[in-house]
């Protein structure tokens, strides 16, 4: 059964394709591939992010508060209506990430968020997390805002599962057809050849990893997939607004000078 509740620290790094290829061999000395990646080079994760009508959650997140939270629906690959998916709350407080999720069938998850009525409990669900999501849905009026998918490679430490490193690429988003079953297409969020590397650890990272990052000039950055998309979305709206203003100015009737009579 997948882990449904955990706390950890997360550090993010944006790297190029060349750096990604260089560090893979070194990482496999200390880590092993995720079960998904033992069968496929990459696997696809698809998400629906929920927010209020005026985007309170993402706006608050971008202000970098000590505490922030989000609700998302996650599937591995493109699901069908009766496929099992994860509805999860992700919280961050003073740098510590807490993720709490429950397994649901896709149609159960949609219904729960849309109506605010908890599904009838089944053995594959996490009762406590259902209650927490129920509270969040009552506190906020949430609606689907963004579809976001990416292709992932993940590794775990051979010594323990406390250390996990993921590499995400081909991050694509859309703000229409906000259904997981509609396919994993979308607009590219980053330039070609860019990877988002995330180091996820319950404790401090090992010395060998710190050395590897330093030797390859890999530096920590602040990055949120949803946050990056929202900023691009706002910029796009401003650009369109500017184009409309230019258009109106171009076709506006200029005041004519008064006729002078002799």
DSSP strand E in the chain: where? 5-16, 31-33, 43-51, 67-76, 84-93, 96-105, 143-157, 163-174, 187-188, 194-201
In a domain, 89, yes or no: yes
CA proximity to 224, closest of 60, 80, 16, 103: 60
Total-model pTM: 0.88
**161 three-state secondary structure:** coil
- The model's pLDDT over 75-102, given as tens digits with 9 standing for 90+, comes to 999 999 899 999 999 999 988 999 999 9
User: 107-137: per-residue pLDDT in tens?
Assistant: 999 999 999 999 999 999 999 999 999 999 9
173 within a domain of the structure (yes/no): yes
Residue 243 falls within a domain, yes or no? no
Is the residue at 258 inside a domain?
A: no
Would you say residue 255 lies in a domain?
no
Residue 74 DSSP class:
E
Whether the pLDDT of residue 258 is over 60: the answer is no
Residue 244 falls inside a structural domain = no
Residue 240 falls inside a structural domain: no
Q: What is the CATH number of the domain that holds 106?
A: 3.20.100.30
Non-local (6+) Cβ contacts of 126 within 8 A are 4, 5, 100, 101, 102, 103
**pLDDT of amino acid 259:** 47
Say if 116 falls within a structural domain. yes
Number of domains making up the chain: 1
């Amino acid at each position: 059964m997948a882990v449904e509740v955990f706390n950890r620290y997360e550090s993010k790094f944006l790297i190029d394709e060349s750096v990604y290829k260089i560090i893979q061999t070194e990482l496999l000395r200390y880590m092993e591939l995720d079960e998904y990646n033992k069968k496929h080079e990459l696997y696809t994760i698809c998400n629906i992010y929920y927010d209020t009508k005026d985007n309170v959650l993402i706006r608050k997140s971008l202000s970098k508060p000590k505490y922030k939270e989000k609700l998302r629906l996650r599937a591995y690959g493109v699901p069908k209506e009766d496929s099992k998916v994860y509805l999860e709350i992700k919280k961050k407080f003073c740098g510590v990430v807490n993720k709490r999720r429950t397994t649901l069938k896709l149609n159960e998850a949609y219904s729960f968020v849309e109506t605010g009525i908890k599904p009838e409990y089944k053995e594959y669900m996490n009762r406590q997390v259902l209650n927490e999501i129920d509270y969040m849905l009552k506190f906020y009026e949430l609606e689907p805002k963004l579809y976001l998918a990416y292709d992932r490679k993940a590794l775990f430490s051979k010594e323990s599962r406390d250390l996990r490193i993921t590499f995400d690429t081909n991050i694509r988003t859309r703000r229409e057809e906000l259904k997981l079953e509609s396919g994993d297409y979308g607009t590219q969020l980053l330039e070609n050849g860019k990877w988002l590397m995330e180091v996820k650890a319950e404790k401090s990272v090992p010395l060998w990893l710190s050395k590897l990052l330093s030797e390859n000039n890999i530096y920590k950055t602040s990055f949120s997939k949803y946050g990056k998309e929202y900023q691009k979305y706002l910029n796009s709206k401003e650009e369109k607004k500017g184009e409309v203003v230019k258009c109106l100015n171009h076709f506006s009737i200029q005041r004519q000078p008064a006729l002078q009579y002799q």
